[in-house]
Structure 1
Amino acid sequence: MNILVIEDDPSVRTLVKAVLEHNGNSVSTADNATDGEANAVKDDYDMIVLDLGLPDGDGYEVCKNIRDKNVSTPVLILSGEQETDVKVKCLKVGADDYLTKPFNTEELIARMDAIKRRSESSGEQQLLCGELKVDLLRREFSVNGEKTQLTNNEFNLLVYFMKNKNRVISQEELAEKVWDIHFDTQTNYINVYISYLRKKIREHTDVDYIETIRKKGFLFRCE
């Protein structure tokens, strides 16, 4: 993979670069938010490893800004912050996963591999359900032929729903399979993303595709 590492700590940046290159990846680096964001927008990367604390800004803004510019490259956040609300905020601005410093290098590789697996289309190019169409290669979503902009997390959530249509999916399963994290019952970020996705679908159709099954999870209906 071609990976961009945005990290201002020289020791962490050197370590991550060495580990990733040892595993056969090509690695570019940036040590500040400005250069990192510019590189992420300008060049075609397979993944971005992004530190939260940067000298001229923070990882939240970098992630949000590249998502606003339609950069769908998967993002793994690195941070010393361990609070749940920090992790939730990262997911809300478009990050795909979060790894707390100090970290085990094997876990770093495992999480990146998991993100890569979720991003691949598994040989499929399109998913169809009623008025909904997902182009997995272009990462585009349309309702009744009208393109609808989704964030990276919303897109991944929709793809998982469509690949697992007509069965009840628990919040625990969504947390593990879509975000590769353990579900925390004290947070509602899964419900928040489902609400976002529902709203965007309902802007173009009267059909309710996502049904909440009380105390069990969610059902994506597709006849």
Structure 2
Amino acid sequence: MMPVAWGRWSGALAVGVLAVGALAACAPAARPLGGAPIRAVLPPTALPTAPTILRFNWTYKDETFEAKGEGAVRRQGPDRARLDFFLSNGMAGGYAILVGDSLTIPGVDLVKRMLPPVPLLWASLGRLAVPATPDTMARMDGDTLRADLGTLRGRDASGADGRAWRVAFAGTMLARVDRIEDGRVVEWMTRGRQGDGPLQVQYVHERGKRRLSIAVTDTSVVEGFDEAIWRRR
């Protein structure tokens, strides 16, 4: 009986190895961190204290589903934001409440499906809020500052074991955050402008083949928000 048991176990192991390999292949390898080494001092990324509303257009796509519409973010420093998404053609949407490290997404599964995890969601709003890490390595390339954060042990994120984060600043603006697992970029977020155009935000999950694109159409400062918007209904 031993050969049969070994055959079944080895076959399952082979399938598991192939599955892991397929997942890894879906995520591109992180490139070595380029530029000149510098002291790791990152620009501040605190949210404005003034209550602000950002209105935007959005599109979402994955392997089985596509959607688009309009939305709004109500944002207030130091660490509160509410995101509302409305589907085109007057269809219902959904919302999410982000307070510190807590993300609440009631009701509609669409919003849960679209949104990135908390660190990348904060990054989309210009706030760097990745988990604390023991090591940081930073390099300057022109006006772009890039830094890797994780358990690096003298290496950058492309050679680190386990999870690491790569952040990029264009001047003082947070422009990109990557989540890297075992040297591969699993998901990432970028934000920036083309010339005088609107702020563009893009989130991509490489393994899940999910993509959310946002174009901010209007930004306005308001007197304040009703406290009820931060509570789950």
Q: TM-score, normalised by structure 1?
A: 0.26
Higher helix share: 1
Higher strand share: 2
Name which structure has the greater RCO, CA cutoff 8 Å, separation 6+: 2
